[in-house]
């Protein structure tokens, strides 16, 4: 007689996953590493199979970043719009891989690009989530001068996500960059105000403030470690919890 293994019960019903553009670069010097993209999609599927409703925001650092373009002479507003378009490219790439794995998805853009995405409408996004679709929020907030971190905090607030899962290259929040300083100390938990006071570069100040105002916890974790996403959803203590 075959023994049925019970699936872990998720502690969150609806989450917002924030992935940096640089992460999608993987081992490549520029653009999208297709192997890493498939890895991310597999990690997302592992929590989707548990019945979790998932929204995703992806950065654009693997293609272009508005503030970096400004330092090279590009107008900041133009640079930010270029960055927004780059997030659409990343979103479409992730959508393609997720759908090839059998998941239903929608890309919703804050700027109108009707041929490749839906316009972002909050009520429609919530309906998509309720219909078991993964919603990828592209083009940031649709406004210059705001980062994709702020877009993640904004969309999480709008769809009433229970938590923001911030996938990074390190396993939590440290007193300083652990990749540069081996003596940096890790926080298991930290408050929003402490993050702002210490100027820790988890997310920008606007994003942290928005999460604080709407009481949305942030879990900063190592996305590169296989299985971490599922462990968090199953209630295991992974990474650093940022909350009030």
- Over residues 48-92, the pLDDT tens digits come to 999 999 999 999 999 987 667 767 788 999 999 999 999 999 999
38 assigned to some structural domain: yes
State the pTM of this model.
Answer: 0.94
9 assigned to some structural domain: no
What confidence score (pLDDT) does residue 8 get? Answer: 79
Helix %, strand %, coil % of the chain (to 5): 40, 20, 45
Question: Cα separation of 189 and 238, whole Å?
Answer: 11
Per-residue CA distances from 13 to 20, 126, 146, 152, 231 (Å): 23, 13, 28, 17, 14
Share of the chain above pLDDT 90, in %: 84
3 assigned to some structural domain: no
The CATH number of the domain where 98 resides is what? 3.40.1160.10
131 assigned to some structural domain: yes
How many residues would you count in the chain?
A: 244
61 assigned to some structural domain: yes
What confidence score (pLDDT) does residue 5 get? Answer: 59
What confidence score (pLDDT) does residue 106 get? Answer: 98
Looking at the structure of the chain, the number of domains it has is: 1
Give the domain range for residue 107: 14-243
53 assigned to some structural domain: yes
1 assigned to some structural domain: no
What confidence score (pLDDT) does residue 201 get? Answer: 87
Query: Does the CA dihedral 43-90-218-104 come out positive or negative?
Result: negative
74 assigned to some structural domain: yes
The ranges of the chain with pLDDT < 50 are: none
Question: Cα separation of 138 and 67, whole Å?
Answer: 18
What confidence score (pLDDT) does residue 7 get? Answer: 73
């Amino acid at each position: 007689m075959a023994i049925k293994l019970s699936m872990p019960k998720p502690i969150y019903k609806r989450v917002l996953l924030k992935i940096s553009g640089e992460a999608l670069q993987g081992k490549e010097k520029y653009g999208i590493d297709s192997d890493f993209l498939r890895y991310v999609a597999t990690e997302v599927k592992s929590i989707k199979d548990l019945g979790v409703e998932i929204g995703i925001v992806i950065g654009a650092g693997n293609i272009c970043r508005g503030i970096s373009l400004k330092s090279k002479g590009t107008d900041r507003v133009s640079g930010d719009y270029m960055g927004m378009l780059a997030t659409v490219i990343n979103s479409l790439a992730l959508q393609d891989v997720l759908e090839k794995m059998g998941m239903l998805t929608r890309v919703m853009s804050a700027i109108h690009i009707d041929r490749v995405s839906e316009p972002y409408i909050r009520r429609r996004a919530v309906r998509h989530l309720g219909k078991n679709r993964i919603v990828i929020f592209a083009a940031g907030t649709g406004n210059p001068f705001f980062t994709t971190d702020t877009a993640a905090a904004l969309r999480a607030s709008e769809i009433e996500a229970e938590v923001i899962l911030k996938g990074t290259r390190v396993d939590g929040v440290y007193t300083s960059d652990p990749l540069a300083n081996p003596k940096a100390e890790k926080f298991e938990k930290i408050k929003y105000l402490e993050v702002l006071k210490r100027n820790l570069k988890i997310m920008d100040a606007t994003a942290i403030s928005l999460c604080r105002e709407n009481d949305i916890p942030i879990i900063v974790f190592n996305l590169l470690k296989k299985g971490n996403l599922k462990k968090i959803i199953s209630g295991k203590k992974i990474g650093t919890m940022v909350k009030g």
